[in-house]
């Protein structure tokens, strides 16, 4: 490096730093290009495998004359690879028309095969190119996390140093300035300082570029991370890939608009969001949900379980924080307080403050002074709501918990909603029993739609298009089928278990009480030796051989204890453990290699937890609400799941279990009619009192013993 100053000006060779900065600025673009190249390799490999497995005769469906091709020795579609219509004519019996038709059919088949490739790797059926794709994604994520801020800093310093260099050169052109010894000394100091900055920039850029080129990741470890939770990989892939690749179906082409009318959906997509304070990658449908919250301000986010409602709300908070807003508040069940705190720390640059327990008053004072994300329970909110002055965004998790307008928790939430600038009610089960519940949630979060919605929902058969328009400003729902088409299949099986004579006798002798009958149908006369537990034992033995993790759900603590005893001891999650201990149990279960069993009380373990590490759900008995069962299954089959999910529901034949199944089916239909989509579908009289006939059947069964 040469530095010289004098009457001719400043001569400082900054080119050496410029070369390293140029090299550094190519680091992330090269990493993105590697992801796209790895994606193309997966598509090409999978499409070729499909063509090799497809007989040439199948091209007749694409307009080809396959007889001459078969006579010429072509056996599979892949045999046409590399051929042109001219080269095909060199085969006996293949003329120009046949050749043109064959190439046209081949190209159509190839395009369809490429469009239908499932990009996401399957840990149980690994393609040769899958490892390359996962490693490229993991490498890019590592570079963004570890060096992106330093890359930005080096670039900014380089630009600033370049501007000062230009100013210094201009200053030395003033000849009379150089006659002053003091001025010359100042010039020398400035030149030396600038040279030092360029040396720092050169070294920093070289080190970062070298780090990126030398970065290697263990393929086995990357596969392990992916199998445990694929969600970060999927979000990153969706953000890096060109939109046309996603639109072709490689990632499913998500229906992220949730059936909203075009004028609202267009306004939502035109809403810009600033996500500088968010450290996670959003799926495209999640960004749309974030835009919906910001655009509409007061909404019921009704996305299906497992679609990431929490991350959409956190992204909304980050946008508002970037705009200068400071005070955000979350009301949630006690069991998920720790999870909310962890999610804020993990995915944002915001500060969480749990306002709960004996220090709640001091914690609320801290939140009022400093801002951040205040997190509390429904019960605690009732004691604090009078002191909360203003909230920039209020999030109400599991909002179906405030469906009763007469409950104190509901009144506290409604009051805080009234003094909040933005409000998000979060519920994947906005309707559980009655249509009025959905109406209450919608009109509480946005009171100005009350009259219109009430009028519509009183109709026996409201027009779906009209209701979609009325609810669109407040209710957005996307299902797993809409946006998570990459999810592996699920097999749901009702296991109807005949009871042994001793179990039947124990069931008949149990008190004429619904809950006693439900428990007796499961434990029979012998607990671990009952007919249901015999079936459970068979299932677990099979899944142990496959190395799968199993989540066993029951309403009853006694059943959980018996399950734990039967398997030689397993962890439990129930309503009596603290949120901190619950999270530790989940972390240990996720870290466990191979087969494992976790026993969960369904009301405590079916809400607010992530169990993508498991692949099997066993429901020991039917529940009263379909949403309870859906939530339990959705803890396992959710975004990030990479393996096929099996769900078993154990039903004791000839018991109250069978009537509960009927009740669940009737309530499912009500949900389908009214809350499954972002519009109310055709109504029916059943919506007024869902499952009334099934409840009568239940009472009759209990009375008959």
Report pLDDT for 494: 85
- In this structure, the strands spanning 645-652 and 616-619 are parallel
When pLDDT is cut at 50, 70 and 90, the band that residue 12 belongs to is low
CB 378 within 8 A of CB 413: yes
Convert the pLDDT of each residue in 590-625 to its tens digit.
Answer: 888 889 999 999 887 655 677 888 989 999 998 887
Convert the pLDDT of each residue in 226-270 to its tens digit.
Answer: 988 888 898 888 888 876 665 444 455 456 777 787 888 889 999
Q: Give the homologous superfamily in CATH for domain 254-482.
A: Tandem AAA-ATPase domain (3.40.50.10810)
Reported residue count of the chain is: 705
> Can you tell me whether residue 272 is helix, strand or coil?
coil
Query: Higher confidence at residue 705 or residue 378?
Result: 378
Convert the pLDDT of each residue in 429-456 to its tens digit.
Answer: 765 555 566 677 887 888 877 666 667 6
Integer Cα distance of 402 and 406 in angstroms? 9
* Sign (positive or negative) of CA dihedral 620, 621, 625, 630: positive
Q: What phi and psi, each to the nearest 5 degrees, are found at residue 121?
A: -65, 150
pLDDT of 84 > 70? The answer is yes
Report pLDDT for 691: 43
Residue 453, phi-psi category: left (phi > 0), alpha (psi -120 to 50), beta (remainder): alpha
CA dihedral 612, 668, 468, 247 (to 10 degrees): 40
How many other C-beta atoms can be found within 10 angstroms of the C-beta atom of residue 630?
21
* Sign (positive or negative) of CA dihedral 553, 559, 560, 565: negative
CB 522 within 8 A of CB 602: no
Mean pLDDT taken over the chain = 83
The 3-state secondary structure of 203-260 reads: HHHHHHHHHHHHCCCCHHHHHHHHHHCCHHHHHHHHHHCCHHHHHCCCCCCCCCCCCC
Report pLDDT for 190: 77
Report pLDDT for 355: 94
When pLDDT is cut at 50, 70 and 90, the band that residue 374 belongs to is very high
User: Apex CA 673: angle with CA 668 and CA 678, to 5°?
Assistant: 115
Report pLDDT for 525: 82
When pLDDT is cut at 50, 70 and 90, the band that residue 686 belongs to is very low
Edge-to-edge strand ranges of the sheet holding 645-652: 490-497, 645-652, 616-619, 549-554, 596-601, 572-573
Task: Kindly list the distances between the CA atom of residue 332 and the CA atoms of 8, 202, 364, 574, 626, in Å, as whole numbers in the listed order.
Answer: 71, 50, 16, 17, 21
Integer Cα distance of 227 and 225 in angstroms? 6
322 burial level (CB within 10 Å; 0-12, 13-18, 19+): middle
Report pLDDT for 245: 60
* Residue spans per domain, the chain: 1-253, 254-482, 488-704
DSSP letter for each residue of 528-539? GGSHHHHHHHHH
Beta bridge partners of 522: none
Convert the pLDDT of each residue in 14-64 to its tens digit.
Answer: 667 788 888 888 999 999 999 999 999 999 999 999 999 999 999 999 999
Query: Higher confidence at residue 626 or residue 223?
Result: 223
Convert the pLDDT of each residue in 327-351 to its tens digit.
Answer: 999 999 887 888 899 899 999 999 9
Report helix angle 309-322 to 337-347, nearest 10. Answer: 50
- Nearest alpha carbon to residue 639 among 280, 350, 392: 280
Integer Cα distance of 347 and 357 in angstroms? 25
Task: Kindly list the distances between the CA atom of residue 72 and the CA atoms of 50, 91, 99, 101, in Å, as whole numbers in the listed order.
Answer: 21, 6, 12, 15
Q: Do domains 254-482 and 488-704 have the same CATH topology?
A: yes
Convert the pLDDT of each residue in 397-425 to its tens digit.
Answer: 988 888 788 888 889 999 999 889 999 99
Query: Higher confidence at residue 642 or residue 364?
Result: 364
When pLDDT is cut at 50, 70 and 90, the band that residue 181 belongs to is low
Report pLDDT for 100: 94
pLDDT of 305 > 60? The answer is yes
Q: From the CA atom positions of the chain, what is the Rg in Å? A: 31
Single pTM value for the model? 0.68
Which CATH number, 3.30.420.40, 3.40.50.300, 3.40.50.12590, 3.20.20.100, labels domain 488-704? Answer: 3.40.50.300
CB 607 within 8 A of CB 336: yes
Convert the pLDDT of each residue in 639-668 to its tens digit.
Answer: 777 788 889 999 888 888 888 887 777 666
Report pLDDT for 618: 94
Percent of the chain with pLDDT strictly greater than 70: 83
């Amino acid at each position: 490096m040469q530095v010289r100053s004098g009457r001719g000006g400043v001569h400082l060779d900054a080119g050496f730093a410029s070369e390293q900065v140029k090299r550094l600025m190519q680091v992330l673009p090269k990493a993105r290009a590697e992801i796209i190249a790895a994606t193309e390799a997966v598509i090409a490999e999978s499409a070729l495998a499909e063509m090799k497995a497809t007989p040439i005769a199948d091209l007749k469906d694409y307009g080809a004359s396959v007889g001459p091709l078969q006579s010429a020795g072509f056996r599979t579609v892949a045999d046409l690879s590399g051929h042109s219509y001219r080269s095909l004519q060199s085969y006996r019996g293949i003329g120009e028309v046949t050749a043109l038709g064959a190439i046209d059919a081949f190209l159509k088949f190839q395009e369809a095969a490429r469009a239908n490739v499932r990009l996401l790797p399957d840990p149980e059926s690994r393609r040769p190119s899958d490892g390359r794709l996962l490693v490229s994604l993991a490498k890019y994520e590592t570079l963004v996390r570890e060096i992106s801020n330093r890359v930005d800093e080096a670039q900014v310093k380089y630009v600033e140093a370049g501007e000062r260099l230009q100013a210094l050169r201009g200053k030395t052109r003033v000849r009379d300035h150089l006659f002053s010894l003091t001025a010359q000394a100042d010039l020398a100091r400035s030149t030396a300082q600038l040279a030092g900055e360029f040396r720092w920039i050169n070294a920093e850029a070289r080190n970062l570029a070298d780090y990126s080129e030398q970065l290697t990741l263990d393929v086995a470890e990357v596969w392990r991370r992916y199998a445990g939770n694929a969600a970060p990989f999927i979000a990153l892939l969706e953000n890096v890939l060109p939109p046309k690749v996603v639109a072709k179906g490689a990632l499913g082409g998500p229906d992220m608009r949730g059936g909203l009318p075009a004028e609202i959906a267009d306004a939502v997509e035109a809403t810009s969001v600033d996500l500088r304070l968010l450290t996670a990658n959003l799926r495209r449908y999640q960004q749309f949900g974030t835009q919906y919250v910001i655009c509409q301000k007061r909404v019921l986010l009704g996305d299906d379980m497992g679609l990431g409602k929490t991350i959409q709300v956190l992204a909304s908070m980050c946008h508002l924080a970037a705009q200068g807003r400071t005070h955000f508040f979350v009301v949630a069940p006690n069991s998920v307080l720790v999870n909310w705190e962890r999610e804020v720390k993990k995915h944002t640059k915001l500060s969480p403050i749990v306002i709960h327990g004996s220090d709640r008053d001091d914690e609320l004072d801290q939140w009022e002074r400093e801002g951040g994300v205040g997190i509390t329970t429904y019960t605690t909110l009732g004691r604090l709501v009078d002191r909360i002055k203003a909230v920039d965004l209020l999030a109400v998790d599991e909002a179906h918990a405030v469906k009763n307008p007469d409950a104190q928790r509901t009144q506290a939430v409604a009051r805080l909603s009234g003094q909040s600038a933005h409000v998000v009610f979060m519920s994947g089960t906005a309707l559980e029993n009655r249509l009025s519940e959905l109406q209450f949630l919608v009109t509480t979060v946005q009171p100005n739609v009350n009259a219109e919605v009430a009028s519509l929902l009183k109709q026996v058969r409201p027009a779906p298009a009209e209701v979609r328009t009325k609810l669109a400003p407040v209710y957005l729902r996307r299902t797993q089928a809409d946006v998570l088409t990459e999810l592996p299949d699920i097999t749901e099986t009702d296991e109807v278990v005949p009871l042994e004579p001793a179990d039947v006798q124990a069931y008949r002798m149990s008190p004429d009480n619904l809950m006693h009958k439900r428990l007796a149908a499961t434990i029979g006369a012998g607990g671990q030796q009952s007919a249901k537990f015999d079936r459970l034992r068979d299932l677990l033995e099979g899944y142990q051989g496959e190395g799968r993790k199993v989540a066993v759900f029951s309403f009853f603590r006694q059943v959980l204890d018996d399950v734990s005893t039967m398997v030689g001891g397993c962890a439990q999650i129930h309503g009596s453990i603290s949120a901190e201990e619950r999270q530790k149990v989940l972390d240990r279960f996720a870290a466990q290699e191979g087969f494992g069993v976790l026993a969960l009380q369904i009301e405590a373990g079916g809400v607010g937890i992530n169990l993508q590490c498991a692949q099997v759900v066993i429901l020991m008995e039917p529940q009263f609400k379909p949403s309870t069962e859906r939530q339990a299954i959705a803890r396992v089959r959710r975004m990030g799941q990479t393996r096929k999910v099996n769900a078993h529901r154990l039903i004791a034949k000839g018991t109250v279990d069978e009537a509960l199944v009927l009740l669940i089916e009737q309530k499912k239909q009500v949900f389908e009619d009214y809350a499954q989509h972002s519009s109310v579908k055709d109504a029916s009289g059943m919506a007024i009192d869902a499952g009334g006939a099934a409840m009568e059947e239940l009472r009759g069964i209990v009375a008959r013993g």
